[in-house]
Structure 1
Amino acid sequence: MEKLAIDKSKFTPLSAEEKRVEVAVRPSIGYWKDVWNRLKSNKMAIGGLVVIIAIVLAAIFVPIFSSYTYDLNDLSMANSRPSSEHWFGTDQLGRDIFVRVFFGARYSLIIAVVAAIINLIIGVAYGGIAGYFGGTVDNILMRLVDIISSIPLTIYVIIFMAILSKPGEGGSGLGTIILALSISYWISMARIVRGDVLQLKQQEFVLAAKSLGVSDFKILIKHLIPNCVGSIMVTLTLLIPEAVFTEAFLSFIGLGLTPPIASLGTLANDAMNSIYTYPYQLVPPAAAICLIILAFNLFSDGLSDALDPKNKR
């Protein structure tokens, strides 16, 4: 093969200054810092995050530093309209609605977050096993998911609540509601994790781990699940507002928390009894529920775009 002759006179060497300019001077950044930079550029997502943080802080500190308590009855001030003394007014027992809304938000968020975390654990384990082992295991597990999904999940929650609730108490305990939500809403998490694992297990790093004798359990826990963390985080931020809404719905049908403990759902349910005479009592808890759901949805959309820019609309 004849060598190609190159005329060096047609080329000019770079000067020292030109070589310096050609060198990339931008420092390298990690994956999560890059995600945070993209998330910061999304004003709607940051707005949702700020609202979430503000609600959490208010739910913690407002009931602590307020001069009223959530269960302080003052019948002389029953059904008072909003004023400088009671910013959101009072209910039929003279309790300050402002304090009760933030106290209720505390319990609603506790229920939602704990239930979402339990759903995360169940869904990740279930979906990870189904996706990794595939074949007969996947068929059996996913057919079971299809059967469960054929009935609205809210029906399962109502059935579990009816079974777990103690008759005659007029409500349910905190643990009962969390348990009912936890064993019902893991389906979406399981399906998403299974889909990710099905794709990831075909990658070369999984084959390399198997060739080195790494156990299936370690491959799933140390290699596959960590690579699904983006989808898991997005789904988790969607499960929390879903749990808040479901808890409010349960309260409307009489399966909410047992008084005097209050959540946003029980506050809205109590206000419905006097909606025609004192409609202002319904506005604060209903607005808080809507604000929490909207804030989490905005943050979830922004987080999804930040984790995977290809999904950005």
Structure 2
Amino acid sequence: MLRNLSLAVVLLLVALVASAVLLRDWWERPLTLPAEGIVLQVEPGDSLSRLSRHLAKRGVLDHERLLNIMGRLLGADSRILRGEYRLNQGITPEGLLTLLQSGDTVRYLVTLPEGITLSDALALIQASQGIRSTLAGANDSRLLDLVAPAASAEGYFLPETYQYERGDSDFKLLSEAHRLMEEALAHAWQQRRAELPYSEPYEALIMASIIEKETGLAQERPAIGGVFVRRLELGMRLQTDPAVIYGLGDAFQGNLQRKHLNDASNAYNSYRHHGLPPGPIALPGRDALMAAVDPAPGDALYFVARGDGSHEFSATLKEHEDAVRRFQLSRRANYRSSPENK
């Protein structure tokens, strides 16, 4: 009888060892995935059992119950984080549980170009893959609350490339863009040149937006900033077309006319009103901010597009009128106001 008991114990031990070997083999064996891998979406509240069942139905995971058991034993089933996870070839059940607890989710990118308006930036964000649209427009109350006491949210968001996860909201992304703009504006304001004609950082932001819209070549930002700052200091009107166009809004149909330049009801009409417009006209980048607070020295008060993306700068009205005749009234066939690569 003792001999039979010993044999039973040996057989049990053999079975346990064999099971452990098989379990280890399964635990370290790669899942069945296509060459390009798959993306697994984990929604808030998803359980490990639901995810393992989903993977089993797709033919990715065998022995789904083993994954659930291991998840409970390791405490992983209660630490799964929501988001999209990319499962690449070679990942094992062990690696899967580690990944689902890591928060290392699929990241998407959206780039807000320098010089676009907030409305265009919002449209670009809302058209991006996986973004959850929650904002009604550039005048949404949540955006206005972000930038208070400013009356308009325009300009107060830094144009950069942003990472986000599927399910992130447009407001979350713009909140980050606003935070970065506040940091960039504060940094620029600390670096400002003495005796500039600004009373507060917001005025520098307005000027930076004008510089951004007027600049074709990046290296010309400080020179264009210098022209506009000198105009402010001398009490001259800024006379910048982009500001007029911004004030026209949807009424602008692509052709700026004399009646638009004479319209004093347009608060952004810098041909009729002195000083800065009431708010920014676009989203300026870091270089435009610096050009606003540290403009290039000189005596130029005018500039005109040469037709290759650059500008001709002039100190006197006569020089400017001569430049206009050369570059505007006798335009060559390949004339363009912006360079091919800004």
Larger Rg: 2
TM-score where L is the length of structure 1: 0.23
More helix by share: 1
Higher strand proportion: 2
Higher-RCO chain (CA-CA 8 Å, sequence separation at least 6): 1
TM-score normalised over the length of structure 2: 0.22
